[in-house]
Structure 1
Amino acid sequence: MKLNERIIFFFLHNLSHLAGRINPYRRTVWAQKIGGFVYRYIPTRKYLALKNIDRAFPNKSDYWKTEILKKSYTFFMEQFLFFFGFPESYNQTNIKVKNKSLIDEALKQKKGVLYISGHFGFWECIIAWFGKQKYPLTGVAVRQKNVWAHQFFIKKREWSGIKHVFRKDALDKMNRVLDEGGILGLASDQDVKNRGVFVRFFNILSSTPKGAARFYQQKGSIPIFGVCSKEGHNQFLIKFKDIPKESLADTETFTQAYTKLLENEIRIHPEQYFWWHNRWKTPPLVK
């Protein structure tokens, strides 16, 4: 292990130990303090995030947009501390679940389930919930460059019983999850350049991954959209929605359908979306 990798691993390990010892109230307080500090003094992608909020909500005031960004810093710092506090932090949560039956009924069909989501809400909470409920979830993730940091994050996520495959792995591994009747988790809201299909996200044509649609077309697996939003202090709501059959006809309508579901959730809780991604990096090709 290189020196810098040792330092990072030591830092992550000790931060995890500390995060697991704080209660939900203190976690919120620390998230406000750290989030405020990062907003003021660490401007990495700050202006990209503000630009994205401006594009998504052009009719809102500048004050409103700035406040949403500030709240987003606090929100994701709280999720960061929540994740690092696993498993203790998860065991302290109050979770309500809406439409759990959609998952149960889909699994009974033994065709595999496509769990489709985005970088919204407490996604670490819903991932852990799948594992604690003994659902056979395998999430598609990205490998970290730092091997020890990668192992740390994977171990943190897999404590609940979920598994991972990685984007650069052979598709056979992902297909196997569905062939065995499992759940394949896909975060499908990032710009993938011209490899994606362009659908409207906040009425802006946006490069969006085709993977979920392709798996459905090839496997007939059951697509279900789901998110976990924070509804109050230490109160979380997990909800699932099916994708209407009339929206499954082709790649574009399929992708547009779940992208609209995600947008609807963001409009309810705009501070809970990860605005720092360069979501509108790639313009559509001019025909």
Structure 2
Amino acid sequence: MLYYILKAVSLVACLLPRCICDYLGQVLGYFFWLCIPPKRRRMAMEQAKMCLQVNDSEARRIVRSSTVQFGPMLFEVLRFPVIKKHPEQYIRIEGLESLQKSMAEGKGVIIAAAHSGNWELQGGAFAMAGIPLVGVAKKQKDVGADKFMNEYRSLIGMHITYKTDVREMFAMLKKGWAIGLITDQDPDRKNGVVVNFFGRPTNTPHGSASMARSQGVPIFISFMHRDKDGSHTLMVKGPFRVDKTADKHVDVVRTTQLINNAIEAHIRKYPEEWFWLHDRWKSIREEFPDKPWLQAQNND
């Protein structure tokens, strides 16, 4: 049922003017903010205060802005059929030439991204620019929502695989595709390495570094930023090469730290665009419950 509802809303959104959809997205975003449980809000605000060294009111403003952006993001996903026709009106890419040069070698690349700006549009922006991209997605709990999201991701050119299908990722990489991996959320301790993030020990996904090292391919780091006129700038940095010494763990940790440093710098520049509602230090807090700076985030 949800699939058909989303398709119907998408049809309407594609018929409406862009400015109206932007306005409706803002209204929906404020509704999202009002629906966030108080405990989740407090957790996000504590993270913002800890990372950015801001006061309560500024932390609340940042987290609220970060949440409200989900409304416009959703409407842009609903309007993928329109965006596909004229992507140049919506997205500008900085650093595309370096990525194209690496892709021309035919070995594929890893694109490490973050939940900042409209990350759903980011993968499509690469695909519409001629970069064959595999979007690595997390399966949605609702079957209808999962079907809709994957259909619309494919609509703008992405090949979608689930994060559990590592074999397909390696197979596509060997065929010369770019593998897009989100690298800024807390994994379980078996699938992460601890590196610094905002000066704190932080469990971080190492898939980008591990895959790049294993296959000898470069890593690019990308971020999506919403400009004042409502369009987007996709910033691509790289290529970065993973060292391949006798110590694999050291090589992976070093590159994962480099990625974290880039993400941190981008968040400091555009704090309102990052997904603060995610509990970034959950696994570290559970492993080290005596850390006072982590306990503060878990207060009711």
Common fold by TM > 0.5: yes
1:175-186 → structure 2 map (5 Å cutoff): 175-186=170-181
Q: Secondary structure of 2:61's match?
A: helix
Partner residue, 2:222: 226
In structure 2, the partner of 1:54 is: 49
Equivalent in the alignment of 2:188: 193
| Alignment partners' CA distance in 1, 2:36 and 2:213 | 44
Mapped partners of 2:93, 2:65: distance in 1? 24
Do the aligned residues in 2 keep the contact of 1:18 with 1:85 (CA within 8 Å)?
no
Find out whether 1:207 has 2:203 as its counterpart. Answer: yes
Choose which of 136, 139, 143 in structure 1 pairs with 2:139: 143
Q: CA separation in 2, counterparts of 1:189 and 1:41?
A: 24
Task: Please tell me the residue identity of whatever aligns with 1:108.
Answer: A
Choose 226-235 or 19-28, whichever is displaced more.
19-28
Q: CA 1:141 to 1:109, structure 2 compared with 1: closer, same or farther past 3 Å?
A: same
Q: Structure 2 CA distance, aligned partners of 1:183 and 1:49? A: 32
Question: Does structure 1 conserve the Cα–Cα contact (< 8 Å) formed by 2:45 and 2:59?
Answer: yes
Gaps of 5+ in 1: 1-5
Over aligned residues, Cα RMSD in angstroms?
2.1
Structure 1 counterpart of 2:297? none
Q: Which moved more, 1:237-246 or 1:187-196?
A: 237-246
- Displacement after TM superposition at 1:181 (Å): 1.0
Report Cα offsets for 1:124-144 as digits up to 9, x if no partner. 222111221221101111122
Matched, 1:121 2:117: yes
Gaps of 5+ in 2: 246-250, 289-300
SS in 1 for 2:110: strand
In the aligned structure 1, how far is the partner of 2:234 from the partner of 2:4? 33
Quick one: percent identity of the two aligned structures? 26
CA shift for structure 1 position 28:
2.6
Where do residues 100-111 of structure 1 align in structure 2 (5 Å cutoff)?
100-111=96-107
**Does 1:65 pair with 2:59?**
yes
1:235 corresponding residue in structure 2: 231
TM-score (norm 1): 0.89
Verify the 8 A CA contact 2:220 2:237 in the aligned structure 1. yes
Q: Check the 8 A contact 1:20/1:88 in 2, yes or no.
A: yes
Cα distance in 2, alignment partners of residues 32 and 94 from structure 1: 17
Q: TM-score, normalised by structure 2?
A: 0.86
Give the aligned length: 278
